[in-house]
């Protein structure tokens, strides 16, 4: 079997460009033969492993696929590999998970948080027989969805259950994008486990896979049910409030339920996967003496365009082709505007909405989401500017959190002062923003864009809530982005503020090998890291990931380490 990359297929061959099934004829096999410069008869069968839309030339938009292929003889396959037109290929096998076999009366590993890092970590540990105890401050996903909908409709904010907190983490309400820039060895298993839990199979072969915020809740719930079926326990409305140590290692954790009752649970290993918005958890970790450090993050706005405009800008006349007519184009761009400042787009949600993502009273936070069909009228994306520790208000490890909070609260005040209601978001059209910044305003190219932020927006000068360097960088970046994507700086496009939670502004330090945090004065361990204390920081909130895929991969990596440490302790 061989793997053949960079195969071109016309849009008319859309059915042949789908993954999953082996094909013994048709356009795919013919394209494989052309790519290998072989007679068609030598290609016995082929299957798409990966598919993307190649729109680098708008005069010829087409599919680019990578395929697995079987040729007529082993010699023909060897020759294809020797020509560098193909590589040897073997079908992926299920992940082998060694069993922990821990005593029934031994403390269970505790996993804090059910975002992708915590969820995949807990599922791995459950499959390893470790019976993890999983704690999540927010509600189970069905109840969580109801509470989020109630807030969107104008109800009060719950600081325990919202778009940031609850089963599935923040990613549950942000399209379920599974793209990543890393080549983590766990990535194929993450996709496979998602599919096993009911995600669409196209995430296995789509170059830009997504599950959709309408489908992801059911997937997350199935994963949780498997954890429980394998002997694990999941507690919702349960918050970690403290950890206690003896002789430099974890001895117990203190948990608080939704009614304020507290329980001390024996624990010698805890995976800390709290998400980037668990600010009280960061405070608690600092109180334990665990090492923390400042970390760069980003800040900016959500920008909305008409999706039809983005489709035309990306695909030109091919936007009306039947293979693309029911799809939504996306984009990803970055520019340097000075030696120290960059702007980039992130978490682009085709056919989606801007979400009300606050998790603290008196603060505005925006995010983006889209359903699996991506059929909404608008496209939206985070338009972000890098924020470095030099921009923080002091050396405290949590100074980045303070900066985030100050911007979110300033946005809340700006909206009220502009005549808005609580949790309405301040917004400006691109035209008004550029004019206020003293920059040229381009000619209009589209109709009015109606903001999709559910609580409603109020016209306000974004300079009243965003740092000056953020506004300056966005103003400088908009025309540069427009040169790459026609219409990006259209005066009718809408900027809704603020987007502050793209990543964590703090890192909970951990050993490179042990993956454990350490306490001050910890002696060097056997693997060169400071001796671990039994706490394993994990995922995006702890500063080791930047999206669903990377967080899930980190969760599985940490789970492997926890299982290894449990087995080693059992054998000592």
pLDDT confidence bin for 499, thresholds 50/70/90: very high
Per-residue pLDDT reduced to its tens digit, 58-111: 899 999 999 999 999 999 999 999 999 999 999 989 999 999 977 778 899 999
Cα gap 86→375, rounded to integer Å: 37
User: Given a cut of 80, is residue 182 above it in pLDDT?
Assistant: no
Cβ 50 vs Cβ 64: under 8 Å: no
- To 5 degrees, how large is the angle CA 234–CA 161–CA 271? 40
**Helix segments in 197-235, DSSP class H:** 216-229
Per-residue pLDDT reduced to its tens digit, 382-405: 999 999 999 999 999 999 999 999
Buried b (16+ CB within 10 A) or exposed e, 20-49: eeebeeebbbbbbbebbebeeebbebbbbb
For the chain, list the domains and their CATH numbers: 2-88 (3.30.70.2700), 110-293+511-571 (3.50.50.60), 297-499 (no CATH)
The label of the residue with tokens 């294809």 reads: 80
Q: Give me the pLDDT at residue 572, please.
A: 65
3-state secondary structure of 401: helix
* Range in 28-32, 496-500, 529-533 with the lowest mean pLDDT: 529-533
User: Given a cut of 90, is residue 26 above it in pLDDT?
Assistant: yes
Please report, rounded to a whole number, the percentage of residues in the chain having pLDDT higher than 70.
100
pLDDT confidence bin for 177, thresholds 50/70/90: confident
**Helix segments in 197-334, DSSP class H:** 216-229, 279-288, 307-315
Q: Give me the pLDDT at residue 529, please.
A: 86
3-state secondary structure of 24: coil
Cα gap 85→82, rounded to integer Å: 8
User: Given a cut of 90, is residue 568 above it in pLDDT?
Assistant: no
In what order do the strands lie in the sheet containing 62-71? 43-54, 62-71, 2-9, 87-88
Tokens of 410: 């300033």
The label of the residue with tokens 């899930």 reads: 552
> Do β-strands 334-336 and 110-112 pair in parallel, antiparallel, or remain unpaired?
unpaired
- Distant-in-sequence, close-in-space partners of 216: CB < 8 Å, separation ≥ 6: 168, 171, 172, 176, 199
Q: What is the mean pLDDT of residues 502-515?
A: 96
User: Given a cut of 90, is residue 130 above it in pLDDT?
Assistant: yes
Cα gap 347→517, rounded to integer Å: 30
3-state secondary structure 545-560: CCCHHHHHHHHHHHHH
In what order do the strands lie in the sheet containing 270-272? 233-236, 133-136, 110-112, 270-272, 535-537
């Amino acid at each position: 079997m061989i793997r053949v990359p960079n195969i071109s297929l016309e849009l008319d061959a859309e059915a042949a460009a789908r993954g999953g099934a082996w094909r013994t004829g048709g356009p795919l096999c013919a394209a494989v033969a052309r790519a290998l410069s072989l007679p068609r008869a030598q290609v016995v069968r082929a299957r798409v492993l990966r598919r993307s839309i190649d729109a680098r030339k708008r005069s010829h938009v087409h599919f680019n696929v990578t395929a697995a292929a079987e040729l007529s003889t082993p010699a023909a396959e060897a020759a294809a590999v020797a020509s560098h037109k193909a590589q040897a290929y073997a079908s992926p096998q299920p992940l082998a998970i060694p069993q922990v076999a821990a005593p029934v009366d031994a403390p269970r590993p505790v996993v804090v948080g059910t975002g992708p890092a915590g969820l995949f970590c807990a599922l791995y540990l459950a499959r390893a027989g470790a019976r993890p105890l999983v704690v999540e401050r927010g509600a189970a996903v069905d109840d969580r969805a109801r509470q989020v909908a109630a807030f969107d409709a104008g109800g009060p904010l719950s600081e325990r259950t919202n778009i940031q907190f609850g089963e599935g983490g923040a990613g549950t309400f942000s399209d379920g994008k599974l793209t990543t820039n890393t080549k983590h060895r766990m990535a194929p298993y993450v996709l496979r486990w998602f599919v096993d839990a009911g995600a669409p199979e196209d995430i296995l072969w789509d170059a830009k896979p997504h599950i959709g915020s309408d489908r992801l809740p059911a997937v997350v719930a199935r994963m949780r049910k498997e954890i429980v079926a394998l002997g694990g326990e999941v507690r919702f409305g349960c918050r970690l409030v403290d950890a206690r140590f003896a002789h430099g290692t974890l001895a117990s954790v203190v948990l608080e339920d939704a009614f304020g009752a507290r329980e001390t649970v024996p624990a010698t290993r805890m995976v800390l996967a709290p998400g980037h918005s668990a600010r009280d958890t960061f405070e608690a970790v600092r109180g334990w003496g665990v090492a923390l450090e400042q970390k760069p993050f980003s800040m900016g706005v959500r920008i909305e365009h008409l999706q039809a405009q983005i489709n035309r800008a990306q695909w030109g006349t091919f936007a009306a082709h039947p293979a693309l007519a029911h799809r939504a184009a996306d984009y990803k761009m970055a520019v340097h505007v000075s030696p120290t400042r960059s702007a980039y787009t992130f978490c682009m949600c085709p056919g989606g909405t801007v979400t009300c993502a606050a998790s603290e009273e008196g603060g505005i936070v925006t995010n983006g989401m889209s359903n699996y069909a991506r059929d909404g009228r608008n496209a939206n994306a985070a338009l972000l500017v890098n924020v470095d520790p030099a921009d923080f208000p002091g050396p405290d490890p949590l100074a980045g959190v303070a900066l985030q909070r100050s911007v979110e609260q300033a946005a809340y005040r700006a909206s009220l002062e502009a005549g808005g209601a609580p949790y309405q978001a301040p917004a400006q059209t691109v035209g008004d923003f550029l004019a206020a910044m003293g920059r040229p305003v381009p000619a209009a190219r589209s109709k009015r864009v109606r903001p999709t932020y559910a609580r409603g927006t109020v016209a306000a000068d974004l300079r009243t809530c965003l740092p000056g360097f953020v506004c300056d960088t966005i103003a400088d970046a908009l025309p540069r982005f427009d040169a790459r994507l026609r219409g990006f700086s259209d005066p009718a496009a809408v900027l809704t503020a603020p987007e502050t939670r793209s990543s964590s502004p703090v890192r909970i330090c951990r050993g490179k090998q042990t993956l454990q945090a350490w306490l001050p004065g910890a002696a060097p361990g056997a693997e060169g890291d400071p001796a671990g204390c039994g706490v394993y920081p994990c995922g995006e909130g702890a500063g080791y990931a930047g999206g669903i895929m990377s967080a899930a991969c980190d969760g599985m990596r940490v789970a492997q380490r926890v299982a290894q440490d449990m087995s080693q302790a059992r054998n000592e």
